[in-house]
Amino acid sequence: MDRNVHAIELYAQDRLTSGRAAAALRVRGARADDAERLAAIWNTEAVSTLNTTDTEPRDPGAQRAWIASHSALYPVVVAVSEDDEVTGYAALTPYRPKPAFLHTVEDSVYVDRAWRGRGVGRLLLGHLVELGGALGHRSMMARITAGNAASRALHESLGFRLVGIEEAVAFKLGRWLDVALYQRRW
């Protein structure tokens, strides 16, 4: 009983801390000089986890080119702490390279490991949802490795709906992976 009460208090404290962390963050557009930081966040996930089907690391030059390739219609945003540290980033990219898909976008969201569970992902993805609507996009898609519970829960909490599972479509780190396809419509 005592232990339960203690657990509830700890949980409440966590939520309070999360709230403060998220409140202290601001979102801005990504700049070329964010490239090194974005590459560091990205490379860990691409190279050593099953959180994404991407596999290739980016050097700062490749990351700068990636930022530059995003036009105003497909923004990249970063969440910055009070100390000016980039804690995570998120982007919209075209879903298919065909004119008919101009207003269907795919999102990506990456949070530095040290900042996870503190509201950064929700802040970034929520911001992209607002931006995407304002830019006139019609659908936002997310392709998430099926075992990535955090990303699936984050997307579901922001109104994304599971529209299908692609079975064993990606091979990474010695495993065949299912990919869950999510959609949010404006």
Ligand X SMILES: CC(C)(COP(=O)(O)OP(=O)(O)OC[C@H]1O[C@@H](n2cnc3c(N)ncnc32)[C@H](O)[C@@H]1OP(=O)(O)O)[C@@H](O)C(=O)NCCC(=O)NCCS
Q: Does 153 bind ligand X (CB under 6 A)?
A: yes
Measured at CB, which residue is nearest to ligand X? 121
Quote the DSSP letter at residue 181. E
Among 37, 58, 64, 118, binds ligand X (CB under 6 A): 118
Residue 63 or residue 151: which is nearer to ligand X going by CB?
A: 151
For residue 92, give every residue at least 6 positions away whose Cβ sits within 8 Å of its Cβ, in sequence order, or none: 70, 73, 74, 75, 105, 106, 107, 128, 131, 132, 137, 140
Residue 35 or residue 111: which is nearer to ligand X going by CB?
A: 111
Among 29, 61, 117, 136, binds ligand X (CB under 6 A): 117
Q: Does 52 bind ligand X (CB under 6 A)?
A: yes
How many residues touch ligand X under the rule CB under 6 A: the total is: 22
Q: Which of residues 156-175 bind ligand X (CB under 6 A)?
A: 157
Strands (E), the chain: 26-29, 76-80, 86-94, 104-111, 139-145, 161-172, 175-185
